[in-house]
Amino acid sequence: MKIFYSETHRQHNPAFEVFDGGKRVPYLESPERMERILKALRKTDWAEIEPPRDFGLDPIRAVHSEEYLAFLASAWIEWLAVDPDSPAAAEKIALMPATFAAKRDQMPEAILGKAGFFLLDLSVPIVEGTFAAALASANCALSAAETIALSSVSRLPSAFALCRPPGHHAGREIAGGYCFLNNAAIAAQWLTRFGKVAILDVDYHAGNGTQDIFYARRDVLTISLHADPAFEYPYYAGYATETGAGEGLGFHHNFPLPAGTDDAAYLQTLDQALARVREFTPAHLIVSIGMDIYGGDPLGKFKITREGIREIGRNIAALNLPTAIIMEGGYNTDALGDNVAALLKNFK
């Protein structure tokens, strides 16, 4: 299996985030996550790790707005330019919003205002290398998509994009939940030239950004299994009643699950989701995987075991579709690598 990975992710390494209740804590979405996954994959005899190719900005512009991309590209420089001679200038270790946009019909001119316009929460601090890391992450996803679309091998192709930062909370022009560019959506949009695409999101948190991007479309089926937003991030999206709009009505499905969901309950719900994928008959499948479904994850409240994760991978692989697997969340670094390998082994 081809694994696409870029060391550029290390350029996005904020010193802290502001967590629930206003606590300042070390950034959980850390470079160590990738180190643990790579260590586990290098122990296998089937992982072929290689850098992504650069697809340029056009595939990213097909998903994210020009204004949003311009903000991500210039935010750090604009932030440094604010009072550069003041004593506080040396303390500018990250850009975070001063306010959040209650309405979005007027984009502010000041950089702190722009940050509140484009950043959903305090888990997406911008540092000098954030945009470069996000672009490299998107290129990993696009490389995986290209591999499954253009593979010349006789066996059913699959590929894994070891993406960091993750992407599924990023909407068309908003960042949130550690996500800046929606890697899965960018890969799916690129694949639509070959036919219909299904996106299956099995991260612990709802894929609200992916939902936002494809909500009114019928050529991309989006499905998300996740913790019920009644008690879990992102709170405002991910409900079962959200099923698409306009031409996309009926082409988005949320499966919110209660705290304490175990292997049996999760797999039963997954069967329902996979039935919808089969009915859609896509040419290609994108799977957003989040290992925060694991029972020991600090940001999750499910009780999924490693064997459960292995079975999730086995059941998805049984769809027999060309599949690009995109890394999303997962913050128990002790178990993260082995959990990812357990799922991926089904696709090798």
DSSP structure string for 173-235: TBBBTTBSS-HHHHHHHHHGGGS-EEEEEESSS--HHHHHHHTT-SSEEEEEEEE-TTTSTTS
Q: Nearest to residue 52, comparing CAs of 186, 177, 199, 222?
A: 186
Q: Could you tell me the two tokens for 282?
A: 């896509």
Q: What is the pLDDT of residue 155?
A: 63
Q: Nearest to residue 137, comparing CAs of 161, 116, 160, 120?
A: 161
Residues 225 and 299: their CA atoms lie apart, in Å, by 16
Q: What is the pLDDT of residue 156?
A: 74
Cβ pair 3, 49 in contact under 8 A: yes
DSSP state of 329: -
For the stretch 247-305, pLDDT in tens is 999 999 999 999 999 999 999 999 999 999 999 999 999 999 999 999 999 999 999 99
Is residue 169 among the annotated active site residues?
Answer: yes
Q: What is the pLDDT of residue 152?
A: 61
User: Could you tell me the CA-to-CA distances from 335 to 10, 45, 160, 340 in Å, in that order?
Assistant: 21, 20, 18, 9
Catalytic residue among 168, 169, 252, 284: 169
Q: What is the pLDDT of residue 87?
A: 61
Q: What is the pLDDT of residue 177?
A: 97
Residue 333: how many CA atoms within 13 Å on its side-chain side? Answer: 12
Q: Nearest to residue 185, comparing CAs of 174, 235, 133?
A: 174
Residues 1 and 42: their CA atoms lie apart, in Å, by 12
Q: What is the pLDDT of residue 84?
A: 82
Residues of the chain predicted below pLDDT 50: none
Q: What is the pLDDT of residue 19?
A: 82
CA dihedral 339→342→347→348, nearest 10 degrees, is 110
Q: What is the pLDDT of residue 153?
A: 62
Q: What is the pLDDT of residue 157?
A: 92
CA angle at 183 for the pair 181 and 189, rounded to the nearest 5°: 110
- Please name the helix (run of DSSP H) or strand (run of DSSP E) that holds residue 133, with its range, or none: helix 130-150
Q: Could you tell me the two tokens for 23?
A: 């606590």
**Residue located via tokens 């629930």:** 20
**Residue located via tokens 């290209």:** 146
